[in-house]
Amino acid sequence: MKVPMHPQFGQLMKDATALTRAGDLKAAMAAIATALRHGPATPHAAPANDAVIDVDARVIDEEALPPLERQAPREPGQFVSGHFTHRAGARDYRLFIPALRPDIGTGKPRALVVMLHGCTQTPDDFARGTRMNALAAEHEVLVLYPAQTLQANAQGCWNWFKHNHQTRERGEPALLAAMAQEIAASHGVDPARIYVAGLSAGGAMAAILAATHPDVFAAAGVHSGLAAGAARDLPGALAAMQGQGGAAAGHARSAVRMIVFHGDADATVHPRNADSIVSAHGAAAVSIDEKPALNVGSRHCTRRLHRDAQGRVVTEHWTVHGAGHAWSGGDPSGSYADARGPDASVEMLRFFLEH
């Protein structure tokens, strides 16, 4: 009898070997189990012809960049594959495990950042475009990249615009929060230092997770995304992406600290959505410290710090002038990446670790 195997069998077995050598037998066995399974499991997945939001990837011309900007930094650590099953469904994932230095720390990861890709992207593509692994290696931070399935959404979008994926106890929010907690527990991460960030549809889902699971995620980063509750069906999603729809007051609110990035030339998700996110997640803010006309790279940007009564920043809002629908400061070897602006990965990780 032939044993069915995962399409990425070779890579998964390499991951298992590396994990075994590193002494992480639990993760190694999980990689082997995934390798022997034919394709990603998708219980409770939506039909393949389900409503989707279709967008075109915008990739910045790599040849226009200086040679040094095209060189990817080395990432000391391991980038492994895994699979997570939950009552709300199942998803594959990629996990960056940094090389830890017990001589200068506790020998445990400092934190966990969950990175949610946008439509048509994959975890590997998103990791390349954001360069988050290289930054995480410097700070001994785990990075988890859940993978959306084409069975759940034909364009690989997280289903932020569906009412059954916007609550705590079911759908993708329940699945993703449980995955983050499982990874944090199995790798010794402080449960108070779990963060989430995403781009576009992934950013919208990050905003939902901040609203539904404030006890799990200590802070969130939303890049070119939408506020939680901005839409409950496909027509509403298309309207919200164009900057139309309900007022920000109707969106789900959360006390979770938030950092927001958006290009003011974004033709896919209207930049007005960034203001809605800030309004929904900045209820505790009593003052705004605006720093306009910042020059970062070849872009101008405006940064607004929303502070509470104690002077603590509850929301940080970056408007990148002239930028479109792409990760600011990203690597052009990944899709939806704009190398010409402030580095969103650097700023988000700094914002998270300040906590």
Per-residue pLDDT tens over the stretch 286-300: 567 777 667 777 889
Shared domain for 315 and 212, answered yes or no, is yes
Shared domain for 166 and 28, answered yes or no, is no
- Residue pointed to by tokens 């995480």: 136
Structural domain harbouring 187: 40-353
Q: Please give the tally of structural domains in the chain.
A: 2
Per-residue pLDDT tens over the stretch 11-32: 555 566 655 555 555 566 666 6
Contact criterion met (CB below 8 Å) for 285 and 315: yes
Shared domain for 312 and 213, answered yes or no, is yes
- Residue pointed to by tokens 């009898």: 1
Shared domain for 98 and 22, answered yes or no, is no
User: For 102, left (φ over 0), alpha (ψ -120 to 50), or beta?
Assistant: alpha
Shared domain for 267 and 277, answered yes or no, is yes
Distances in Å between the Cα of 30 and the Cα atoms of 81, 93, 167, 194, 348 are 9, 11, 29, 22, 30
What pLDDT score does 309 carry?
83
Shared domain for 19 and 134, answered yes or no, is no
Question: For the domain that residue 215 is a member of, what is the CATH number?
Answer: 3.40.50.1820
pTM over 0.85? The answer is no
Shared domain for 8 and 119, answered yes or no, is no
Rounded to whole angstroms, how far apart are CA atoms 214 and 265? Answer: 31
- For the chain, which ranges sit under pLDDT 70? 1-75, 102-106, 245-254, 281-287, 292-293
Shared domain for 306 and 329, answered yes or no, is yes
Contact criterion met (CB below 8 Å) for 196 and 180: yes
Per-residue pLDDT tens over the stretch 45-76: 333 334 444 344 333 333 333 333 333 445 67
Shared domain for 20 and 90, answered yes or no, is no
Shared domain for 33 and 72, answered yes or no, is no
Contact criterion met (CB below 8 Å) for 344 and 327: yes
β strands within 118-253, DSSP E? 141-146, 194-199, 219-223
Name every residue whose Cβ is closer than 8 Å to that of residue 137 and which is 6 or more positions away in sequence: 75, 76, 77, 96, 98, 99
Shared domain for 15 and 149, answered yes or no, is no
Name every residue whose Cβ is closer than 8 Å to that of residue 354 and which is 6 or more positions away in sequence: none
Rounded to whole angstroms, how far apart are CA atoms 319 and 264? Answer: 6
Shared domain for 18 and 47, answered yes or no, is no
